[in-house]
Amino acid sequence: MSTPWPDDVFDCAVRLARSLGYEEIDVSHHKGRVYVFCAEQSDCFTEKISELYNTPVTPLWAIFDGDWRELDPRDPTVWGALIGPPGVKKLKYQSFDFFTVIYDGGKRGAPAIEADYVATCGDGLKGTHKDIGIAVCEAYNALKGNPRRGNE
């Protein structure tokens, strides 16, 4: 699917890549989406690459194999990994009259309906959004020094 993400999702993903420690060279923007390069160390150096460049030294980029993966903050495998002691410490779902705690340092509950998710990291840094993944990722971005710009 090549439909561009909404601006808030795209912006969150760009900052999330930085928050997760990806170097600029390992982040790609394509058709309104964000991809990160996930490297896996090769089993061995290839002699063919050394021969191709006529040098006994293997180029740095040839040391690693890997692939480009989409970094969608709404994907549960992405935001779910940010919940826990080093990241999001509390996650709740709130409406005008009530809130339901979904996660609080090991305790888990069930979400309510039609409201905003509020994710809280250390030092009270928060992310709030109608999408749980964006709320979690925004809180993590704030924790890592990459908060959303503007008055949001």
* Domain assignment of residue 150, yes or no: no
pLDDT over 90 at 33, yes or no: yes
Question: Does one domain contain both 55 and 82?
Answer: no
Average pLDDT over residues 91-102: 70
**126 & 105 share domain:** yes
Identify the domain boundary among 37, 72, 107: 72
Residue where one domain finishes, among candidates 47, 72, 97: 72
Q: Is the pLDDT of residue 98 over 50?
A: yes
- Provide the number of structural domains found in the chain: 2
pLDDT of residue 107: 53
Task: Single out the residue in 40, 55, 72 at which a domain terminates.
Answer: 72
User: Do 81 and 32 reside in the same domain of the chain?
Assistant: no
Average pLDDT, the chain: 75
31 and 64 within one domain:
yes
Cα separation, 6 vs 44, in Å, equals: 41
What is the domain range of residue 54? 1-72
Mean pLDDT in residue range 33-60: 54
Beta bridge partners of 91: 103, 119
- Quickly count helices (H) and strands (E) in the chain: 4, 8
Residues 81 and 58 in one domain: no
Q: Are residues 45 and 88 in the same domain?
A: no
Residues 92, 63, single domain; the answer is no
Q: Rounded to 5 degrees, what angle do the CA atoms 22, 23, 25 make? A: 120
The mean pLDDT of 43-66, rounded to a whole number, is: 44
Q: Are residues 83 and 43 in the same domain?
A: no
- Residue 136 phi/psi, 5-degree rounding, is -65, -45
